[in-house]
């Protein structure tokens, strides 16, 4: 494993809580197979104070160190879910998983870091929304987290706030919406300016790629014809409506020389667009979702409204059931690079508000808990991807794209001790009866998955212990994400820029006046 970080560690210096400053803060994991994106090796891992301190065989460790035997198991970097929405005010509802329940569910499934989105409404301040999210999250998160910010309108003030978020608040990524017209959607001229600003700052531009104008017209027509049930959702936004916007986002990004990250790629056509731009050598990245890999949109046509509504998200789960295999093939061939969940859960009661109008069904599905198992089952268990590629698409690539590597995304000396001991021979069956999420359904209900996280270590603390969940509220920290991720910017930056960003200081947002004052 690599031990020399490319850059200074991104995370702030961790304070070790008093109660962990004993032998409890030391751990040795023996006899497992360590899997990194770069390869596999047999070896033992010694953890102290939340950091991986040694990797090797016959390690000499202090007396009283707890030993975990990982024989027959893989030892993988904790999953990073780059796309969740906890306690998100959206379509008239607040998503059901908050930062406590959401991160608890994440850990139960082998994910040790999540990235959420602070999304202001039009005319609202980005900084206010960021502060609101820090306040909501900081004391609740059971694992580390970071924040993207949503760009939902454009003005000089938005541009100025983007710069402050980047330089003083540890945000290096911004999501624009090409859908949700009249609510979150940006027009092309605004997208252009948003991406141009990302390029100037060294941030990562992200897009929700669907043509919001077309969707609105189609939805009006369908409703007028009396198609008002959940089956109208995908009809109003077919594959080509996603693929068109994906292509347009790539074109705009190219005009301003900005790297691009396309969130929630849900169709074959959109995936092919991204793969095409990548073949041309352009730094565009595509994210598949657990939902898109593990299930499809056929339940949206069910006469059972609850089942149908549970599967409503945007872009839609496709009624073409072969989409999931194609998305996994794209992940395997590096046409797509990451897997997220887009976890945005609403209870059946919340979903019921769209009973007479599909366009009012709160959009969002579960996935933060089951993403790792679903990707393993559909990817590794079927033989489509290797365990090293699994690590890459569930953790390492997200860490690299959002500039958290190698603190995150690697089992390496000096990395955070976010570690999962994964048993590929055990199985579990996904069910709302046993999941840890705040919603009363699970879109993967009944799916049997090989691959179970037996131990999940979060910043050195054993939070899943022989399968038993023992999370601590507030144990996680906000991780600032530095500008100019080398993975993203090396392909396009000038030599002068590269020299500058290699020397960028770490941002320690713990000292952010606003946030720390609000926390007293
Ligand atoms: O349906 C979805 N995806 N809900 C969450 C909001 C978004 O667009 O990511
Ligand atoms: Zn979206
Ligand atoms: Zn989302
Ligand atoms: Zn606090």
Q: Hunting for tokens 């194609």 — which residue is that?
A: 326
* For ligand 1, mutation pick of 264, 287, 340 (most atoms within 8 Å of CB): 264
Q: How far is the CA of 140 from the centre of ligand 4 (A)?
A: 9
- The answer, yes or no, to whether residue 46 has pLDDT greater than 60, is yes
* For ligand 1, mutation pick of 102, 297, 354, 364 (most atoms within 8 Å of CB): 364
337-375 pLDDT per residue, tens = 999 999 999 999 999 999 999 999 999 999 999 999 999
Cis peptide bond N-terminal to 509, omega within 30: no
How many angstroms separate the CA atoms of 422 and 377, rounded? 13
How many angstroms separate the CA atoms of 80 and 143, rounded? 10
Strands 419-429 and 448-458: what pairing?
Answer: antiparallel
Spell out which residues line ligand 1, taking CB within 6 angstroms. Answer: 85, 208, 264, 313-314, 342, 344, 363-364
Q: Indicate yes or no: pTM above 0.80.
A: yes
Which atom, in ligand 1's list, is nearest to the CA of 313?
1
ipTM associated with this complex: 0.92
- At residue 514, the pLDDT reads 43
- The answer, yes or no, to whether residue 231 has pLDDT greater than 80, is yes
309-344 pLDDT per residue, tens = 999 999 999 999 999 999 999 999 999 999 999 999
Cis peptide bond N-terminal to 420, omega within 30: no
- The answer, yes or no, to whether residue 511 has pLDDT greater than 50, is no
Cβ < 5 A residues, ion ligand 4: 138-139, 519
How many angstroms separate the CA atoms of 514 and 346, rounded? 31
Which atom, in ligand 1's list, is nearest to the CA of 179?
8
- Residue 37: CB partners within 8 Å, gap ≥ 6? 388, 389, 391, 392, 395, 396, 397, 409, 410
């Amino acid at each position: 494993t690599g031990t020399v970080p490319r850059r200074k560690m991104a995370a702030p210096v961790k304070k070790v809580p008093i109660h962990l400053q004993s032998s409890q803060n030391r751990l040795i994991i023996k006899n497992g197979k360590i899997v990194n994106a770069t390869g596999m090796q047999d070896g033992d891992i010694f953890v102290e104070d939340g950091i991986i301190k040694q990797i090797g065989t016959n390690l000499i460790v202090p007396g009283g160190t707890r030993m975990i035997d990982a024989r027959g198991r893989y030892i993988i970097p904790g999953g990073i879910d780059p796309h969740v929405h906890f306690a998100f005010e959206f379509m008239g509802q607040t998503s059901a998983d908050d930062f406590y329940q959401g991160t608890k569910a994440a850990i139960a499934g082998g994910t040790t870091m999540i990235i959420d989105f602070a999304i202001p409404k039009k005319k609202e301040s980005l900084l206010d929304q960021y502060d609101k999210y820090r306040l909501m999250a900081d004391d609740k998160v059971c694992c580390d987290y970071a924040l993207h910010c949503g760009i939902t309108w454009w003005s000089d003030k938005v541009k100025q706030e983007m710069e402050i978020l980047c330089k003083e608040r540890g945000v290096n990524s911004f999501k624009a919406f090409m859908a949700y017209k009249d609510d979150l959607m940006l027009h092309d001229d605004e997208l252009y300016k948003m991406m141009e600003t990302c390029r100037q700052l060294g941030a990562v531009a992200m897009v929700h790629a669907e043509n919001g104008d077309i969707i609105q017209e189609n939805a009006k027509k369908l409703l007028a014809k009396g198609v008002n049930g959940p089956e109208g959702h995908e009809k109003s936004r077919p594959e080509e409506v996603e693929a068109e916007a994906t292509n347009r986002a790539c074109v705009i990004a190219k005009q301003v020389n900005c790297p691009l990250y396309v969130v929630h790629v849900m169709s074959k056509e959109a995936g092919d667009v991204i793969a095409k731009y990548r073949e041309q050598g352009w730094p565009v990245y595509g994210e598949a979702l657990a939902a898109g890999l593990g299930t499809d949109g056929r339940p949206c046509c069910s006469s059972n409204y609850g089942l149908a509504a549970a599967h409503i998200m945007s872009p839609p789960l496709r009624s073409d059931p072969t989409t999931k295999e194609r998305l996994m093939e794209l992940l395997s061939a590096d046409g797509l690079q990451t897997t997220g969940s887009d976890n945005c859960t609403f209870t059946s009661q919340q979903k019921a508000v769209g009973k007479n109008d599909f366009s009012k069904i709160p959009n969002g599905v579960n996935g933060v808990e089951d993403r790792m198992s679903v990707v393993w089952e559909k990817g590794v268990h079927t033989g489509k991807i290797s365990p090293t590629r699994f690590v890459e698409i569930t953790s390492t690539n997200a860490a690299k794209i959002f500039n958290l590597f190698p603190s995150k995304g690697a089992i390496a000396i000096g990395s955070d001790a976010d570690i999962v001991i994964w048993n590929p021979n055990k199985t579990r069956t996904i069910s709302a009866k046993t999941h840890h999420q705040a919603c009363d359904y699970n879109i993967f209900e009944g799916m049997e998955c090989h691959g179970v996280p037996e131990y999940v270590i979060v910043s050195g603390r054993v939070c899943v212990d022989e399968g038993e969940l023992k999370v601590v509220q507030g144990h996680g920290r906000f991780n600032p994400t530095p500008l100019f991720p080398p993975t993203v910017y090396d392909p396009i930056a000038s030599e002068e820029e590269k020299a500058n960003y290699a020397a960028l200081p770490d941002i320690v947002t713990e000292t952010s006046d606003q946030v720390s004052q609000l926390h007293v």
